[in-house]
């Protein structure tokens, strides 16, 4: 059975005017007030909902622009099943429709979701499909053939109503071409499209708001000729305003407004043809008085004139139809229907601004053909019509008349017939005009008409707004729900990233100092180790050389054999060369040690890298080549072609920038053999008169004579000649002392014999001592040539080499640790960036998730506030 017009048809949940069982006039009055109240409440709720929705839309636009690129979801029917269509045999109550969610910018990625449609107070929601849903799905025993058919239904379902974007997916959504077209659209351009769509929707919603707030409503009164339309309108106005005539010839459309619309002034405005009426524009109408109305209408019988009538209705709003406090109803008294006017009136009635059509029919005549045609068309257009069966007082057999009329109405407008009690009224309009005469039927009609106008208005103006708003809210909910899912996924991703990267970064941060200390220590240890090793090797070597021995024992350097007295010159040169070469070998040895130390240091740095660099960071690809150490110095040496050529041949040649080291054996100045290599007078003198502190020195000091004992020494020296106990050395030393005395007057007299003895001693010395004294002498000289001239033994040679070797070691280690430091710094920077990125993403996604969740909550509140359920 079809639903009644009044009961439960009003969208407001608080509307109680649906009660149809009223008979008493008072009840009817009450009901009209309820309708009025319900209408106002509905209107206010809608306006509130419109404003809140506008607020959300604006916020979405801002959020889209400033904080989160809003994604556009596409829901497709899930290939497996539609949970809402659970078979009746299924005991489980499905929660929603299973859908496959993808996004316009990424149409190939799908997520299973459950879509629940909005119900009263419950928003539309999109949630991730749970495992339970999947289980339900597998329990569902659809045949393989069914599933195959379903899998072909992968078309986008119409999930967006208002905010739908035309992405050219259409029915060809599964075709590759369309998919690739869409996938070319970037997130941001889709977000722009969403923004545009929201903008358009905001414009529309503003218009709707205007429409909801527009209080004007038009009621067209039409009917058969002479049915008493004018009398009826007058009765409604409780005033004889419309000309009532026995002659059915009124051709004008008289539109009655409340005088408040014309600054409270009662007036007639005759509209000029060809212009658009504007109450503020005198040129569009001609003024007249109410009293002139009859004449005006009579004058214009031949033309279908439009007349505006402004009337002051002094009745209380609850009684007045025109000035009822809710909507400004204007009544239009249309010409009686005949072949000529039928078309015009039908057209007029179809106008959107006509909320209600009141059809007046004479109880005496019933419906004419024109009336039937009009009613039939109008009922198709408006569904419900308000029918006034006039002149009912003239009817004797009222029941029969009522039955016959209703029978006809049933044929012409079935919906009206269903609500006949409210929509079809049998009245006597003429008596309604008479003061102090009770006319309950007319009062009932009036009350019903007021309610009908309001309900109709609610239907015609509020309902479309409710529908639009509900659809828009659904779209917002879908958009917010899907974006909340994206935000949640991004939040998870960010957290996973953080879980991975943050500990790595923390470890790097906490290990940074340890690495730094480790590197510094390695550098220091290496450099110090190399220095002390060099120092130790070279000090020993120098000492040995000073004693006439090779600095280091190496198979590459040999002491020459003594060739005999005639070859002493060459011998001294060879000894010098051998000693110098042995010093060079010692330097080389020290360098080799430094290479080992450096290698160990480089390894240590490598290990530090292994323990401090996170996984996935490329390790240093530098290969340490120990043999390349100490080679660069050659480039620093000047003007020695030989060296340069050695260097260019890749030979590893040790030596310092100070001109020391291996270069020694190749330096002509160092190789120069002098007489002093054979006989180091200076050394002898220094030994005996200096304040040396070596053992050897002390040994000699024990025999150092005082100046007073010179002679005796000289004599002693003479006696030593031939003496077995006296060595050649002692002899020659004695002679030396004697030569010192030559200048002495007293000794000159005996100098000649002494000189003879000296010659004999010298000869003995040369023969016996030279093989061992030459190396010592040369060694001493060599040593002296590389030590500091201030007498601090060995220091220059040792220090310079220790410094050089240490510096070179440090250089290599520093390079290795610099490389590691750079890698560490780079890796840390990268991890910091990753952490920062993930943290930002986490923050953004958390905010978006909360924000979209909040939008869903707010739309729910709007729905409850406006009494909106599913917008359908």
Ligand X SMILES: Nc1nc2c(ncn2[C@@H]2O[C@H](COP(=O)(O)OP(=O)(O)OP(=O)(O)O)[C@@H](O)[C@H]2O)c(=O)[nH]1
Residue 538 CB partners (closer than 8 Å, separation 6+) = 551, 583, 586, 587, 590, 794, 797, 798, 801, 802
Residue 735 backbone dihedrals phi, psi, to 5 degrees: -60, -40
Can you name the residues that pair with 251 across neighbouring β-strands? none
- Segment near ligand X (CB under 6 A), from 239-247, 801-809, 832-840, 846-854? 239-247
* 429 part of the interface to ligand X, by CB under 6 A: yes
* 244 part of the interface to ligand X, by CB under 6 A: yes
Exposed / middle / buried, residue 544 (Cβ in 10 Å: 0-12, 13-18, 19+)? buried
- Segment near ligand X (CB under 6 A), from 255-263, 405-413, 422-430, 614-622? 422-430
* 226 part of the interface to ligand X, by CB under 6 A: yes
Which CB sits closer to ligand X, 429 or 666? 429
Beta carbon of residue 231, minimum distance to ligand X (angstroms, whole number): 4
Of residues 393-412, those binding ligand X (CB under 6 A): 393-394
- The three-class DSSP label of residue 112 is strand
Q: Count the Cβ atoms, other than its own, within 10 Å of residue 36.
A: 21
Which CB sits closer to ligand X, 338 or 763? 338
Dist CA 269 CA 292 (whole Å): 11
Beta carbon of residue 286, minimum distance to ligand X (angstroms, whole number): 22
Residue 128 backbone dihedrals phi, psi, to 5 degrees: -65, 135
* 391 part of the interface to ligand X, by CB under 6 A: yes
* 227 part of the interface to ligand X, by CB under 6 A: yes
Which CB sits closer to ligand X, 68 or 253? 253
Which CB sits closer to ligand X, 228 or 734? 228
Dist CA 751 CA 550 (whole Å): 41
* 390 part of the interface to ligand X, by CB under 6 A: yes
- Segment near ligand X (CB under 6 A), from 373-381, 390-398, 486-494, 646-654? 390-398
Longest dimension (CA), the chain: 196
- The three-class DSSP label of residue 396 is coil
Beta carbon of residue 429, minimum distance to ligand X (angstroms, whole number): 4
- Segment near ligand X (CB under 6 A), from 243-251, 279-287, 463-471, 512-520? 243-251
* 225 part of the interface to ligand X, by CB under 6 A: yes
Can you name the residues that pair with 255 across neighbouring β-strands? 308, 332
- Segment near ligand X (CB under 6 A), from 248-256, 527-535, 567-575, 837-845? 248-256
- Nearest of 838, 669, 680 to residue 769 by alpha carbon: 680
Of residues 313-342, those binding ligand X (CB under 6 A): 336
* 430 part of the interface to ligand X, by CB under 6 A: yes
Beta carbon of residue 45, minimum distance to ligand X (angstroms, whole number): 40
What does the per-residue mask of binding to ligand X show for 179-218, with x meaning CB under 6 A?
----------------------------------------
- Segment near ligand X (CB under 6 A), from 229-237, 258-266, 347-355, 860-868? 229-237
Exposed / middle / buried, residue 109 (Cβ in 10 Å: 0-12, 13-18, 19+)? exposed
Dist CA 319 CA 576 (whole Å): 140
What helix, strand, coil percent values describe the chain, rounded to 5? 60, 10, 30
Beta carbon of residue 49, minimum distance to ligand X (angstroms, whole number): 43
Beta carbon of residue 398, minimum distance to ligand X (angstroms, whole number): 13
Which CB sits closer to ligand X, 10 or 332? 332
Query: Which residue in the set 231, 320, 483, 598 belongs to the binding site for ligand X (CB under 6 A)?
Result: 231
DSSP string of 508-555?
Answer: HHHHHHHHHHHHHHHHHHHHHHHHHHHHHHHHHHHHHHHTTS-SS--T
Beta carbon of residue 359, minimum distance to ligand X (angstroms, whole number): 11
* 440 part of the interface to ligand X, by CB under 6 A: no
- Segment near ligand X (CB under 6 A), from 206-214, 345-353, 391-399, 864-872? 391-399
Exposed / middle / buried, residue 753 (Cβ in 10 Å: 0-12, 13-18, 19+)? exposed
Chain positions contacting ligand X, by CB under 6 A:
225-231, 244-246, 248-250, 336, 390-391, 393-394, 428-430
């Amino acid at each position: 059975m079809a639903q009644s017009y009044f009961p439960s048809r009003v969208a407001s949940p608080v509307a109680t005017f649906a009660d149809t069982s009223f008979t008493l006039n008072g009840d009817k009055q009450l009901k009209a007030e309820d309708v009025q109240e319900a209408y106002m409440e509905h209107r206010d709720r809608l306006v509130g909902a419109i404003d809140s929705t506008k607020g959300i839309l604006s916020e979405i636009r801002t959020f889209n622009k400033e904080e989160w690129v809003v994604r556009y979801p596409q829901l497709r029917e899930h290939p497996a099943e539609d949970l809402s269509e659970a078979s009746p045999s299924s005991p489980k109550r499905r929660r929603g429709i299973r859908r496959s969610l993808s996004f316009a910018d990424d149409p190939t990625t799908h997520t299973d979701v459950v879509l629940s449609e909005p119900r009263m107070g419950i928003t539309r929601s999109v949630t991730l499909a749970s495992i339970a849903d999947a289980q339900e799905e597998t329990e569902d025993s659809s045949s393989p053939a069914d599933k195959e058919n379903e899998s072909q239904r992968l078309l986008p379902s119409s999930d967006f109503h208002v905010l739908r974007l035309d992405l050219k997916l259409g029915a060809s959504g599964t075709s590759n071409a369309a998919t690739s077209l869409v996938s070319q659209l970037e997130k941001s351009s889709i977000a722009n499209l969403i923004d545009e769509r929201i903008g358009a929707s905001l414009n529309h919603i503003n218009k709707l708001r205007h429409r909801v707030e527009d209080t004007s409503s038009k009621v067209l009164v039409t009917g058969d000729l002479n049915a008493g339309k004018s009398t009826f309108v007058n009765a409604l106005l409780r005033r004889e305003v419309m000309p009532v005539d026995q002659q059915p010839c009124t051709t004008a459309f008289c539109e009655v407004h409340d005088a408040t619309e014309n600054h409270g002034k009662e007036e007639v405005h005759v509209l000029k043809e060809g212009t658009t009426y504007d109450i503020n524009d005198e040129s569009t109408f001609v003024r007249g008085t109410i009293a002139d109305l009859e004449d005006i209408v009579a004058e214009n019988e031949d033309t279908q004139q439009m007349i505006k009538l402004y009337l002051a209705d002094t009745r209380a709003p609850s009684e007045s139809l025109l000035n009822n406090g809710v909507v400004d109803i204007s009544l239009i008294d249309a010409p009686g229907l005949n072949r000529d006017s039928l078309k015009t009136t039908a057209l007029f009635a179809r106008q959107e601004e006509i909320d209600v059509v009141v059809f007046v029919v004479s109880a005496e005549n019933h419906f004419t053909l024109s009336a039937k045609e009009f009613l039939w068309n109008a009922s198709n257009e408006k569904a419900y019509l308000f029918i006034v069966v006039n002149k009912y007082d003239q009817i004797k057999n009222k029941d029969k008349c009522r039955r016959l009329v209703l029978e006809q109405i049933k044929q012409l407008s079935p919906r009206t017939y269903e609500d006949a009690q409210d929509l079809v009224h049998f009245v006597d309009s003429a008596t309604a005009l008479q003061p102090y005469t009770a006319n309950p039927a007319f009062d009932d009609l009036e009350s019903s008409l007021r309610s009908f106008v309001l309900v109709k208005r609610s239907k015609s103006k509020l309902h479309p707004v409710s529908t639009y708003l509900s659809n828009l809210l659904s779209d917002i909910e879908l958009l917010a729900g899907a974006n909340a899912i994206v935000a949640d996924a991004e939040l998870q991703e960010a957290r996973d990233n953080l879980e991975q990267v943050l500990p790595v970064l923390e470890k790097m941060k906490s290990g940074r100092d340890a690495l730094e200390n480790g590197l510094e220590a390695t550098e220091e240890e290496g450099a110090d180790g190399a220095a002390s090793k060099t120092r130790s090797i070279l000090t020993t070597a120098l000492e040995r050389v000073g004693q006439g021995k090779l600095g280091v024992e190496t198979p590459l350097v040999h002491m020459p054999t003594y060739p005999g007295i005639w070859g002493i010159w060459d011998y001294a040169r060879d000894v010098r060369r051998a000693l110098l070469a042995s010093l060079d070998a010692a330097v080389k040895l020290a360098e080799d040690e430094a290479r080992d130390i450096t290698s160990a240091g480089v390894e240590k740095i490598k290990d530090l890298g292994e323990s401090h660099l996170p996984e996935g960071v490329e390790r240093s690809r530098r290969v340490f080549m120990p043999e390349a150490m100490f080679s660069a110095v050659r480039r620093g040496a000047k003007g020695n072609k030989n060296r340069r050529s050695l260097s260019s041949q890749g030979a590893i040649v040790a030596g310092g920038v100070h001109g020391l080291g291996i270069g020694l054996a190749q330096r002509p100045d160092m190789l120069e053999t002098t007489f002093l290599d054979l006989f180091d007078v200076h050394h002898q003198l220094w030994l005996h008169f200096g304040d040396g502190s070596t053992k050897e020195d002390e040994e000699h000091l024990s025999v150092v004579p005082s100046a007073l004992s010179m002679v005796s020494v000289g004599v002693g020296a003479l006696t030593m000649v031939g003496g077995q106990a006296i060595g050649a050395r002692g002899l020659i030393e004695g002679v030396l002392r004697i030569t010192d005395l030559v200048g002495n007057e007293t000794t000159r007299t005996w100098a000649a014999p002494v000189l003879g003895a000296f010659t004999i001693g010298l000869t003995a010395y040369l023969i016996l001592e030279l093989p061992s004294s030459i190396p010592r002498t040369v060694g001493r000289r060599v040593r002296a040539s590389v030590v500091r001239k201030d007498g601090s033994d060995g220091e220059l040679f040792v220090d310079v080499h220790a410094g050089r070797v240490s510096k070179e070691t440090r250089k290599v280690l520093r390079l290795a640790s610099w490389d590691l430091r750079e890698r560490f710094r780079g890796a840390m920077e990268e991890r910091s960036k990753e952490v920062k990125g993930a943290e930002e993403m986490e923050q953004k996604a958390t905010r978006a998730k909360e924000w979209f969740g909040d939008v869903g909550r707010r739309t729910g509140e709007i729905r409850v506030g406006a009494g909106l359920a599913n917008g359908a």
